[in-house]
């Protein structure tokens, strides 16, 4: 690594190059793209949560003005279902129930918003008008909404008579039983992790363009992983050779997981464009997004923690019901299992852990990964039960956590739930957070608030996350149907500028800046000479895309690997030009130098010669300076940290105000502190949204009652405090990737909800309140106070 | 939305003439346009009132503050005249929706729509306002008849709203965390015709809390209503608040409104 101070290298808060276009409204999102002769698709969606389709009559719609074609499931008989990317086996060894997720409903609808038919027309208005002429005869069935009653309800899918997708477990059940038998204290808690709507600011949008001359289809998609979409759509839904499908994910306005998946509407526009030989576009509106974008969380858990007389955790047991919705979305099965239960050791030495997860089909929108994906759920239940144990055993919540920490000397640390943590220093982030939050002075602040009639509470949470599913061999053994690698290619252009091609994708993360910083740092090339290309399967090598805070750890490492190859090749070229041996050439500060001399060739000179190789020994040295690498990580990375939240509750109204929030994170080495801080801020806002405001509520009939921003409360600036964020301190760099980086995109959303709820419960401690479910709305808090008062 | 005709008349008389049985007046459009976009309404014609000069402006004369129906919330919130005459009304307007809504939504549109959670109805009732239409004058208290229902006859246009300036008044609302409409909003006003308490958000339409008024007439302080309970019967229940919680909030917001009135 290049250690010369580089103002645009690793560690510098370089301003985001992408913001120049975003803040000026010059971004190019899918819906901004206009193609010649395009048509508009409108989806007819089910108004029922569960119903048989007796008959669909499209004749009037097909004859309506401006209509190009009408599509129902009958037209798509040759297409496969939308595939699920991860196979989970139940504890009895049987594979998960994987009923077909058809592109358009086949004989039955299974959630409000399920896609039933499509009108393609010259204008969107004509498509909508014609859609109203489609007559669908539904025979409504009772809806299965409550997970705990799903087994007794009508089956959504024939393949799953009891509506259970799988019954999975991990850990040593007998060892946990023994631990509980000898426990000095057991704390038990029932809780829910509330269902969330992702609500990326850019709704999903797709355009498919079929070129008859070549037989190629181009899909423009608001998506986080274009290569994965090409694979899923091409290989599974269409059985189309991948070189005939190009997928472009241009500027994308946020994803948070919801744009990882292959959605029905993508398949619809691809199919329709091929049929009519004209481009077909579809853009979701906000109301559609609420009933068709995969949602997040929705767990119901009973958790028990066993402690010995000294407060050491000796056993943990969790029993979780996970709602997967009406169909298995692309990664629905891995979220509540591999990404959830394997995190239950948290930052602690708990020796015996057992977790059972039953995934349940319900007549609701499919549930899949949402910022954090399983890890917020794990952190929530663990850090809630620890907090309650601290109350019950009369211990300081910070100290109870501290005495159970995995010590720095214990790394690498093998947890009882599969993961091996490479490094960490949890006491350090706890100390950083306690100091920044002035934890010791809290009683003074509480008393001062009390004098103003407010209930002040403080809540602590530690978190650990596992980023970058790895290695591919382990992922495969656990049921992953793809690997966890990433690609990177470096093209040093003839005049010394660099084009970086990455398989990961930026939709808010700022990769165009951070990836360029890595390259500028390592190759000694000015930052503004580096362009990052992503989001186009025709321009980038096959890659897995961006989710799970993996891009810098996996995608960044792939770039390092590719640049190592560039440097090795550059040394050969320089050695040839300088007429010395390869071994005598060193690369530093952007130049290839004959060691111990001032004879050198800059990387620009080497690049130029690489493309005009008049006298290269072509048997030994190829022209060109372009290299590609695929990096498969040796392990997950394990960012960790401590969050401390302070709230004030107005007892008259139940309103909770977050008055202070401290985040101390260990993300390993940091490329761009400003961008990392922004990622944490956004994550905290989403986590606070989950804890205080957001909730997808379904009625018993399966109608989404919070289907617009009139009822679904998103966090706004005035719901949030000024955050105290420590991101520049790096207690423990990752040990197994070349950058020492860990990932930072989800931490804020993982650690903050539980810190906030712990603070709310702490504020309500004078009423003896032990728990409150998310979201802690004013009414819920007020009611908790009233209920507590009526008991005394 | 469905197709419709559009007209923008320049006088109230033309506007009234332009309206047919299936057409709608368009004021700020804050409710109507989303409804049209979702195809929940299908007017054959929109009669846009934004060209009517008679419906604009804020004036103070003879102890009365008068606000033209097409005055947007931001103009009310920022008006020096309103801030001086009835500061509580400026406070109310400044808390409606968000900046976009405040710069498009109008007082006339708000009261004519009679959303049970809108803010202005509390002021209309509490301040004993008079609604001037193109046909007559209506007392504020008689204006709201129920959920999205007013005393306006088909085709009748609100021209302006006049508010007798009270001795003192205060407004406090508990916003819906999602929409920022009033879950409960209470205006308490000490007026020439006695103390009046207008409540919005809690019931099907704005109403007066007369038990509170009686207590406040004797003693205009928050303590005076400490033991005046608001019955939950007949109040709204939705995702965000049960009738019982709303009833409780009426008391809390009323006390805070009194504190605001007392400055």
Strand partners, B160: B68, B132
Burial class, A444, CB count within 10 angstroms (exposed 0-12 / middle 13-18 / buried 19+): exposed
Q: How confident is the model at residue A5 (pLDDT cuts 50, 70, 90)?
A: low
Mutate which of A653, A700, A709 to disrupt the B interface (most B C-beta within 10 Å)? A653
Instruction: Check residue A464 and give left, alpha or beta (phi > 0: left; psi -120 to 50: alpha).
Output: beta
pLDDT of A652-669, one tens digit each? 999 999 999 999 999 999
Mutate which of B239, B248, B249 to disrupt the A interface (most A C-beta within 10 Å)? B239
Domain ranges for chain B: 5-52, 56-261
B16 SS3 class: helix
Q: What is the pLDDT of residue B168?
A: 98
Q: What is the pLDDT of residue A515?
A: 97
pLDDT of A371-418, one tens digit each? 999 999 999 999 999 999 999 999 999 999 999 999 999 999 999 999
Cα distances from A155 to residues A142, A177, B44, B121, B263, in angstroms, run 10, 34, 45, 49, 62
Residue B67 tokens read as 């606000």
For residues A52-68, give the mean pLDDT.
Answer: 98
CA atoms of A292 and A290, how far apart (whole Å): 6
A421 SS3 class: strand
A785 SS3 class: helix
Could you write out the DSSP letters of every residue in B133-165? ESS-EEEHHHHEEETTEESPPTT--EEEEEEEP
Does the beta-carbon distance from A710 to B239 stay under 8 Å? no
Does the beta-carbon distance from A711 to B239 stay under 8 Å? yes
B178 CB neighbours in chain A (<8 A) are: 693, 706, 709-714
Q: What share of chain A is helix, strand, coil (3-state, %, to 5)?
A: 30, 25, 45
Q: Which CATH architecture has domain B56-261?
A: 2-Layer Sandwich (3.30)
Residue A114 tokens read as 């399920």
pLDDT of B149-163, one tens digit each? 999 999 999 999 999
Could you write out the DSSP letters of every residue in A188-234? EEEEEE--B----SSPPEEEEEEETTTTEEEEEE--S-HHHHHHIII
Q: How confident is the model at residue A728 (pLDDT cuts 50, 70, 90)?
A: low
In this predicted structure, the answer to whether residue B249 has a pLDDT above a threshold of 60 is yes
Report which of residues B262 and A5 the model is more confident about: B262
- Domain covering A19-25+485-631, topology: Aldehyde Oxidoreductase; domain 4 (3.30.365)
Q: Minimal CA–CA distance to A641: which of A666, A662, A660?
A: A666
For residues A572-600, give the mean pLDDT.
Answer: 96
Of B2, B177, B248, nearest to A693 by CB-CB distance is B177
Q: What is the pLDDT of residue A731?
A: 82
Q: Which helix (H) or strand (E) holds A388?
A: helix A375-392
Cα distances from B27 to residues A165, A266, A473, B72, B131, in angstroms, run 52, 39, 63, 10, 16
CATH class, A36-141+201-254+259-292 region? alpha beta
Q: How confident is the model at residue A1 (pLDDT cuts 50, 70, 90)?
A: very low
Q: What is the pLDDT of residue A4?
A: 45
Q: List all residues 6 or more positions away from A134 whose beta carbon is below 8 Å from its beta carbon.
A: A44, A56, A57, A58, A60, A61, A70, A117, A119
The pLDDT mean for chain A works out to 96
Per DSSP, A705 falls in state T
pLDDT of B153-208, one tens digit each? 999 999 999 999 999 999 999 999 999 999 999 999 999 999 999 999 999 999 99
In this predicted structure, the answer to whether residue A469 has a pLDDT above a threshold of 90 is no
Say yes or no: B59 contacts chain A, CB-CB below 8 A: no
Q: What is the pLDDT of residue A2?
A: 41
A692 CB neighbours in chain B (<8 A) are: 177
Say yes or no: B233 contacts chain A, CB-CB below 8 A: no
Does the beta-carbon distance from B179 to A710 stay under 8 Å? yes
Q: What is the pLDDT of residue A396?
A: 98
In this predicted structure, the answer to whether residue A622 has a pLDDT above a threshold of 70 is yes
pLDDT of B1-10, one tens digit each? 899 999 999 9
CA atoms of A776 and A765, how far apart (whole Å): 15
CA atoms of A470 and A381, how far apart (whole Å): 25
In this predicted structure, the answer to whether residue A243 has a pLDDT above a threshold of 70 is yes
For residues A121-142, give the mean pLDDT.
Answer: 98
Strand partners, A169: A356
Q: Which CATH number fits domain A396-466+635-791: 1.20.1050.10, 3.30.210.10, 3.30.365.10, 3.30.70.3040?
A: 3.30.365.10
Of A693, A705, A783, nearest to B239 by CB-CB distance is A705
Say yes or no: B40 contacts chain A, CB-CB below 8 A: no
- Domain covering B5-52, topology: 3.30.43
In this predicted structure, the answer to whether residue A727 has a pLDDT above a threshold of 80 is no
Q: How far is CA B210 from the centre of its chain?
A: 19
Q: In which residue ranges of chain A is CATH 3.90.1170.50 found?
A: 36-141+201-254+259-292
Q: What is the pLDDT of residue A688?
A: 98
Count of CB contacts below 8 A, A vs B?
Answer: 42
Say yes or no: A777 contacts chain B, CB-CB below 8 A: yes
Q: For the CA atoms of chain B, what is the radius of gyration?
A: 18
pLDDT of B124-150, one tens digit each? 999 999 999 999 999 998 999 999 999
Q: What is the pLDDT of residue A639?
A: 96
Other residues' Cβ atoms within 10 Å of the Cβ of residue B141 = 16
Residue carrying structure tokens 């196979």: A87
For residues A251-274, give the mean pLDDT.
Answer: 97
Q: List all residues 6 or more positions away from A360 whose beta carbon is below 8 Å from its beta carbon.
A: A147, A150, A163, A164, A165, A321, A322, A323, A324
B157 CA: distance to closest CA in chain A (Å): 28
CA atoms of A742 and A670, how far apart (whole Å): 9
Say yes or no: A652 contacts chain B, CB-CB below 8 A: yes
């Amino acid at each position: 690594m290049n250690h010369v101070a580089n103002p645009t290298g690793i560690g510098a808060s370089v301003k985001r190059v992408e913001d120049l276009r975003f803040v000026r409204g010059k971004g190019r999102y899918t819906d901004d793209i206009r193609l010649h002769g395009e048509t508009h698709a409108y989806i007819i969606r089910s108004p029922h949560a569960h119903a048989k389709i007796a008959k669909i009559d499209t004749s009037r719609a097909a004859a309506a003005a401006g209509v190009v074609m009408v599509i129902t499931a009958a037209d798509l008989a040759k297409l496969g279902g939308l595939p699920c990317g991860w196979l989970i086996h139940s504890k009895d060894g049987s594979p998960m129930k994987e009923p077909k997720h058809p592109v358009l409903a086949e004989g039955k609808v299974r959630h409000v918003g399920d896609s039933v038919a499509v009108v393609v027309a010259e204008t969107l208005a004509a498509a909508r008008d014609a859609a109203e002429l489609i007559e669908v005869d539904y025979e409504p069935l009772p809806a299965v909404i409550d997970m705990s009653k799903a087994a007794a309800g009508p089956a959504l899918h024939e393949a799953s008579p009891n509506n259970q997708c799988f019954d999975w477990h991990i850990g040593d059940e007998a060892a946990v039983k023994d631990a509980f038998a000898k426990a000095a204290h057991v704390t038990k808690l029932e809780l829910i992790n509330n269902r969330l709507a992702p609500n990326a600011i850019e709704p999903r949008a797709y355009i498919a363009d079929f070129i008859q001359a070549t037989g190629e289809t181009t899909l423009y998609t608001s998506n986080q992983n274009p290569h994965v979409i090409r694979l899923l759509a091409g290989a599974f839904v269409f059985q189309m050779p991948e070189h005939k499908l190009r997928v472009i994910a241009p500027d994308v306005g946020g994803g948070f997981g919801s744009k990882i998946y292959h959605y029905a509407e993508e398949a619809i526009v691809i199919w329709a464009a091929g049929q009519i030989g004209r481009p077909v576009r579809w853009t979701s509106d906000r109301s559609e997004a609420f009933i068709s974008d995969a949602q997040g969380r929705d767990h119901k858990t009973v958790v028990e923690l066993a402690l010995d007389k000294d407060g050491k955790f000796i056993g943990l047991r969790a029993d979780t019901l996970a709602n997967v919705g009406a169909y298995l979305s692309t990664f629905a099965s891995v979220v509540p299992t591999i990404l959830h239960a394997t995190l239950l050791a948290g930052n602690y030495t708990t020796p015996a852990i057992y977790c059972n997860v039953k995934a349940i089909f319900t007549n609701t929108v499919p549930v899949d990964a949402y910022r954090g994906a399983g890890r917020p759920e794990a952190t929530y239940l663990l850090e809630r039960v620890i907090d309650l144990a601290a109350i019950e055993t009369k211990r300081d919540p910070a100290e109870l956590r501290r005495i159970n920490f995995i010590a720095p000397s214990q790394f690498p640390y093998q947890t009882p739930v599969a993961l091996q943590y490479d490094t960490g220093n949890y006491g350090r982030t706890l100390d950083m957070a306690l100091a920044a939050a002035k934890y010791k002075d809290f009683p003074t602040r509480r008393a001062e608030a009390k004098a103003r009639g407010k209930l002040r509470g403080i809540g602590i949470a530690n978190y650990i996350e596992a980023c970058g599913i790895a290695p591919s061999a382990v992922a495969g053994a656990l049921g992953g149907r793809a690997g966890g690698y990433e690609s990177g290619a470096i093209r040093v252009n003839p005049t010394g500028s660099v084009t970086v091609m990455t398989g990961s994708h930026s939709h808010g993360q700022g990769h165009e800046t951070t990836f360029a910083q890595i390259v500028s740092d390592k190759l000694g090339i000015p930052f503004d000479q580096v362009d990052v290309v992503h989001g186009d399967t025709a321009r980038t090598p096959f890659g897995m895309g961006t989710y799970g805070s993996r891009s810098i750890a996996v995608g960044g490492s792939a770039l390092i690997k590719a640049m190592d190859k560039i440097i090795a090749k550059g040394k050969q070229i320089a050695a040839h030009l300088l007429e010395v041996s390869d071994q005598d050439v060193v690369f530093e500060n952007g130049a290839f130098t004959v060691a111990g001399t001032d004879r050198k060739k800059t990387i620009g000179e080497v690049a130029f010669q690489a493309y005009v190789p008049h006298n290269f020994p072509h048997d030994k040295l190829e022209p060109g300076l372009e290299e590609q690498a695929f990096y498969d990580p040796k392990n997950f990375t394990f960012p960790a940290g401590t969050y401390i939240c302070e709230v004030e509750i107005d007892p008259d109204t139940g309103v909770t105000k977050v008055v202070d929030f401290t985040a101390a994170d260990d993300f390993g080495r940091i490329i761009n502190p400003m961008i990392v801080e922004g990622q944490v801020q956004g994550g905290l806002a989403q986590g606070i949204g989950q804890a205080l405001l957001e909730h997808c509520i379904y009625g018993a009939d399966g109608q989404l009652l919070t289907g617009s921003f009139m009822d679904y409360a998103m966090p706004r600036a005035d719901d949030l405090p000024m955050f105290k964020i420590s991101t520049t301190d790096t207690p423990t760099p990752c040990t197994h990737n070349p950058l020492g980086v860990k990932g930072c995109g989800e931490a804020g959303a993982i650690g903050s909800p539980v810190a906030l709820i712990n603070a709310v419960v702490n504020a309500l401690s004078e009423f003896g309140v032990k728990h409150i479910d998310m979201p802690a709305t004013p009414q819920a808090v007020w009611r908790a106070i009233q209920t507590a008062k009526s008991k005394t | 939305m469905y197709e419709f005709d559009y007209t923008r008349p320049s006088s109230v008389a033309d506007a009234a003439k332009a309206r047919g049985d299936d057409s709608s007046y368009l004021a700020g459009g804050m409710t109507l346009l989303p409804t049209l976009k979702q195809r929940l309404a299908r007017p054959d014609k929109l009669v846009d009132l934004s060209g009517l000069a008679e419906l604009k402006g804020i004036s103070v004369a003879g102890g009365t503050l008068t606000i033209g129906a097409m005055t947007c919330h931001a103009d009310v919130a920022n008006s020096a005249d309103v801030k001086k005459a009835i500061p509580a009304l400026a406070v109310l307007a400044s808390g409606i929706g968000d900046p976009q809504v405040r710069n498009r939504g109008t007082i006339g549109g708000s009261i004519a729509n009679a959303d049970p959670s809108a803010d202005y109805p509390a002021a209309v009732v509490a301040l004993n306002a008079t609604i001037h239409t193109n046909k007559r004058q209506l007392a504020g208290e008689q204006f709201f008849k129920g959920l999205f229902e007013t005393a306006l006859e088909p085709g009748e246009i609100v021209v302006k709203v006049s508010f007798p300036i009270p001795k003192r008044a205060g407004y406090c609302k508990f916003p819906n965390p999602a929409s920022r409409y009033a879950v409960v909003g209470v205006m308490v006003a000490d007026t020439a015709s006695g103390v009046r308490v207008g409540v919005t958000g809690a019931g099907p339409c704005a109403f007066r809390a007369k038990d509170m008024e009686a207590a406040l007439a004797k003693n205009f302080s928050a303590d005076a209503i400490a033991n005046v309970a608001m019955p939950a019967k007949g109040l709204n229940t939705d995702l965000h608040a049960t009738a019982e919680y709303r009833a409780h909030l009426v008391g809390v917001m009323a006390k805070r409104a009194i504190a605001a009135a007392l400055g």
